[in-house]
Amino acid sequence: MAPFTTTTWADFPQGLNARTEMHWPNQSDLAHELQDLTSMDLDRCSMLISASLTGNPIVLTWNSGTEQTTTTVIVTALHVHPSNASANRIRVQYWGFGHDIWLPKIISASFPELTLTNVDTEAIA
């Protein structure tokens, strides 16, 4: 697929985070480039970029040594360096601490299921 823009990961040497301003054509181009650099499919790459730009929670499964870890995290930064694959990582926070996860170790990404409940505001007051 031809890119929508000329945006590449080289345009974001400091990575992406919730303060990065970006439009959907740029996100699409970065997702395609990220797909080429990782084992994730295009949908998962788009989810990861969206989560890093919005600060919304995302459910990640990754290899953490001898086991797989699945948990809901907040992605605080996404760093992709096409010329240095070992630097491709995300910074996540959950349960009060943060750490890096290398992109090649991510197995799956999804948005958490949400249940919305109407709250009786009169009962609260």
Exposure of 26 by Cβ count < 10 A (0-12 exposed, 13-18 middle, 19+ buried)?
A: buried
pLDDT at 73 over 90: yes
Find the helix or strand (DSSP H, E) in which 64 lies. strand 57-64
pLDDT at 15: 73
- pLDDT at 31 exceeding the cut of 80: yes
User: Residue 28's Cα: distance from chain center in Å?
Assistant: 13
User: What's 9's DSSP letter?
Assistant: G
d(CA 89, CA 28): 19
Flag whether pLDDT at 47 surpasses 60: yes
pLDDT score recorded for residue 104: 86
Confidence of residue 3 (pLDDT cuts 50, 70, 90): low
pLDDT more than 90, % of the chain: 14
